[in-house]
Amino acid sequence: MTEIERHSYDVVVIGAGGAGLRAAIEARLQGKKTAVISKSLFGKAHTVMAEGGAAAAMGNVNPNDNWQVHFRDTMRGGKFLNNWRMAELHAKEAPDRVWELEHWGALFDRTKDGKISQRNFGGHEYPRLAHVGDRTGLELIRTAQQKIVALQQEDHRELGDYEARLKVWAETTVTRLLLDGDRVAGAFAYVRETGKFVVFEAPAVVLATGGIGKAFKVTSNSWEYTGDGHALALLAGATLLNMEFVQFHPTGMVWPPSVKGILVTESVRGDRGVLKNSDGKRFMFDYIPEVFKDKYATSEEEADRWYDDPDNNRRPPELLPRDEVARAINAEVKAGRGSPHGGVFLTVVDRMPGGAEEIKRRLPAMHHQFKELADVDITKEPMEVGPTCHYVMGGVEVDPDSGAALVPGLFAAGECSGGMHGSNRLGGNSLTDLLVFGRRAGLGAAEYVDALAERPAVPEDEIDKAATEALVPLAREGGESPYAVHSELQQTMNDLVGIIRKEEELQQALEALEKLRERVARVGVEPVAAHGGRGYHPGWHLALDLRNMLLVSECIARAALERAESRGGHTRDDHPQMSAEWRKVNLVCRLTGDPGDPRVELRRQPMDPMRDDLLALFETDELKKYLTGEELPAHVKEVI
């Protein structure tokens, strides 16, 4: 058998985005020997790409904001399918996590009176996103990395070794979780540069691997978003929650083809940008759904007044939650009123009081992105935009308070975990989700380790199986090309499980995925010259990632077929209404059958009813739009 390096930790965090770094910092602060592993370069996680900001009800710009309003907005955005306890913890703890970041050195934009500035975003009642221009995620990661370095310097002073209690493993990909019986005992990985295998022995593992976007053809996500954490959890015996909810961000670039899907931040709309069709009509006024009718402006005049006087006007409909805007754009394009390259127009030209200079100051990354990639000057011309697969609301089912998954010793946080955002995430809620639940998962893992009577041991046959599985594509001569199989998988998901879904198309998707499963099992790659055939071998890496993308795709398609209603990031053409009965149901995936060829099993699981004090935060009329009669609080039932 091939040579394998072994290392021992208390807590292993898989993923070095915002969730992973915050979890690792917390585990280390709790005194645990911690490793943080990243498939990409350290610092190059998706979190870096987050532009708009981090949503936290600090009330700096509008003092009426507070956690209760944020909680309400989050539940509305998720169409009441959110794990309400997570939404509560998030709304309550987000301000502390942002202030903590500032304390660690983050340089947020300021208000005139020197507080952290907050900007408007879709679905948030008040300006709520703490931001650093349109590069907020970069500052979050920079600050977390700085904190990690500070902790390592502390360890060096105390123990003579920077990495004594916190080590970063960059460009290292985990392909399997290792179990001792039914509990986590570690993780198996390969190092990208050399292909060398590494076993991490650890009683607690935190998954923080981000999303699944690379299972779709048009996406704002980059190469490392292949659903690894979702698949690792499934393969270890954990469950995934509500995988049908995939967020298609309304505004991705549509032209040129090489950059199709790259994100155009929602801050463009938050900063007065408007959407227009080919007739020059500001069409979003035609798409305000019944549940939001009283909260959004019905005329352009009122919408424009709102930016300066939000207390006396209703919000522009361009700032509806993302699912609504994405569907509206889709409908305009389908009706033949799209832009030349199959999107619609988004424009900030003549929309900001400070003209071109203000556009460049408020949206520097967007100005740069369009100039460099599409030769469009957004201070003079509109942008062409259309929906792009952006975020997965579904993920590992966890305990809201500790981030613990169903498998003892396994924790999850950030985009790879499920529940917090319900059927649709509000922009800006992810960055604070990472901080709030990253911290909680790191703490949960540390407390789990403290409570262990005996550390698990990694069984040798678990390691052998993981190594054999990883080597299979290299050993197969004349196998299928992983690139061809990946491309077909992406096309299938885009065409049949995309933004608008239908029963027969979902069934076709499942049949296509079954055929792809056979092809994934035949994928083969040639060894390369370096490091015994495995050094820097993207074909081999993709061959291994395909297992994960196939598993998450099947979960998404099965759950999408099962949920016969439209809600948030799941739109069924054949079931266009939201159903109060379906709101009580979570769809849960797990693997069953032969561990060598497992099958996805889906089951319905009732939602926990929301606590009365949280229900009391909503108007009765609003609750009636979402809940069934028997779920309504007693005082409401008496009235109806």
**Residue number of the CB atom closest to ligand FAD:** 17
Would you state the structure tokens that stand for residue 393, as one six-digit string? Answer: 């609301």
Smallest gap, in angstroms, from Cβ of residue 137 to ligand FAD?
5
Please identify, using beta-carbon distances, which residue of 297 and 520 lies nearer to ligand FAD.
Answer: 520
- Distance, in Å, from the CA atom of 530 to the CA atom of 535, rounded to the nearest integer, reads 5
Task: Determine, following the binding rule CB under 6 A, whether residue 40 of this chain makes contact with ligand FAD.
Answer: yes
Please identify, using beta-carbon distances, which residue of 225 and 287 lies nearer to ligand FAD.
Answer: 225
Taking each helix axis from N to C end, the angle separating 429-451 and 18-29, rounded to the nearest 10 degrees, works out to: 30
Smallest gap, in angstroms, from Cβ of residue 622 to ligand FAD?
25
Task: Determine, following the binding rule CB under 6 A, whether residue 387 of this chain makes contact with ligand FAD.
Answer: no
Would you state the structure tokens that stand for residue 127, as one six-digit string? Answer: 């300006």
Task: Determine, following the binding rule CB under 6 A, whether residue 405 of this chain makes contact with ligand FAD.
Answer: no
What does the angle CA 28 – CA 403 – CA 172 come to, to the nearest 5 degrees? Answer: 55
- Which of 428, 444, 498, 524 binds ligand FAD (CB under 6 A)? It is 428
Task: Determine, following the binding rule CB under 6 A, whether residue 242 of this chain makes contact with ligand FAD.
Answer: no
Task: Determine, following the binding rule CB under 6 A, whether residue 210 of this chain makes contact with ligand FAD.
Answer: yes
Residue 555: closest CA among 231, 334, 330: 231
Active site members: 322
How many Cβ atoms sit within 10 Å of the Cβ of residue 612? Answer: 10
What does the angle CA 378 – CA 253 – CA 18 come to, to the nearest 5 degrees? Answer: 100
- Which of 9, 12, 13, 17 binds ligand FAD (CB under 6 A)? It is 17
What's 57-81 look like in SS3? CCCCCCCCCCHHHHHHHHHHHCCCC
- Which of 24, 49, 274, 393 binds ligand FAD (CB under 6 A)? It is 49
What's 425-460 look like in SS3? CCCCHHHHHHHHHHHHHHHHHHHHHHHCCCCCCCCH
Residue 134: closest CA among 434, 431, 386, 569: 431
- Which of 24, 25, 27, 37 binds ligand FAD (CB under 6 A)? It is 37
- Which of 12, 25, 50, 57 binds ligand FAD (CB under 6 A)? It is 50
Please identify, using beta-carbon distances, which residue of 175 and 586 lies nearer to ligand FAD.
Answer: 175
Residues in 274-333 that interact with ligand FAD by CB under 6 A: none
Span of 3-11, 328-336, 425-433, 578-586 interacting with ligand FAD by CB under 6 A: 425-433
State yes or no: 50 annotated in a binding site.
yes
Task: Determine, following the binding rule CB under 6 A, whether residue 74 of this chain makes contact with ligand FAD.
Answer: no
- Distance, in Å, from the CA atom of 410 to the CA atom of 395, rounded to the nearest integer, reads 14
385 forms beta bridges with: 253, 344
State yes or no: 18 annotated in a binding site.
yes
Residues in 516-575 that interact with ligand FAD by CB under 6 A: none
State yes or no: 493 annotated in a binding site.
no
State yes or no: 52 annotated in a binding site.
yes
Task: Determine, following the binding rule CB under 6 A, whether residue 369 of this chain makes contact with ligand FAD.
Answer: no
Task: Determine, following the binding rule CB under 6 A, whether residue 263 of this chain makes contact with ligand FAD.
Answer: yes
Q: Helix, strand, or coil here: 12?
A: strand
Q: Which residues contact 196 (CB under 8 A, 6 or more apart)?
A: 3, 5, 190, 531, 534
- Distance, in Å, from the CA atom of 590 to the CA atom of 598, rounded to the nearest integer, reads 10
Task: Determine, following the binding rule CB under 6 A, whether residue 34 of this chain makes contact with ligand FAD.
Answer: no
Task: Determine, following the binding rule CB under 6 A, whether residue 101 of this chain makes contact with ligand FAD.
Answer: no
What's 576-612 look like in SS3? CCCCCCHHHEEEEEEEECCCCCCEEEEEEEECCCCCH
- Which of 34, 60, 118, 209 binds ligand FAD (CB under 6 A)? It is 209
State yes or no: 467 annotated in a binding site.
no
Smallest gap, in angstroms, from Cβ of residue 123 to ligand FAD?
12
State yes or no: 19 annotated in a binding site.
yes
Task: Determine, following the binding rule CB under 6 A, whether residue 388 of this chain makes contact with ligand FAD.
Answer: no
Residue 459: closest CA among 199, 120, 267: 199
Smallest gap, in angstroms, from Cβ of residue 432 to ligand FAD?
7
What DSSP string describes 259-326?
Answer: GTT-B--THHHHTT-EEE-TT---GGGGG--GGGGGGB-SSHHHHHHHTT-TTSSPBPGGGS-HHHHH
Residues in 130-149 that interact with ligand FAD by CB under 6 A: 136-137
Cα 464 to chain centroid, rounded: 32
- Distance, in Å, from the CA atom of 215 to the CA atom of 301, rounded to the nearest integer, reads 42
Residues in 160-179 that interact with ligand FAD by CB under 6 A: 173-174
- Distance, in Å, from the CA atom of 259 to the CA atom of 201, rounded to the nearest integer, reads 41
Number of residues this chain uses to bind ligand FAD (CB under 6 A) = 41
Would you state the structure tokens that stand for residue 437, as one six-digit string? Answer: 């639940």
Task: Determine, following the binding rule CB under 6 A, whether residue 52 of this chain makes contact with ligand FAD.
Answer: yes
Please identify, using beta-carbon distances, which residue of 152 and 429 lies nearer to ligand FAD.
Answer: 429
The helices-and-strands tally (H runs, E runs) of the chain is 18, 20
Task: Determine, following the binding rule CB under 6 A, whether residue 587 of this chain makes contact with ligand FAD.
Answer: no
Binding-site residue ranges for FAD: 15-20, 38-53, 228, 415, 430-431
Please give the residue ranges that form the binding site for ligand FAD (CB under 6 A). Answer: 14-20, 37-40, 45-47, 49-53, 136-137, 173-174, 208-210, 220-221, 224, 228, 263, 391, 414-416, 427-431, 434
Binding-site residue ranges: 15-20, 38-53, 228, 249, 265, 390, 415, 425, 430-431
Binding-site residue ranges for substrate: 249, 265, 390, 425
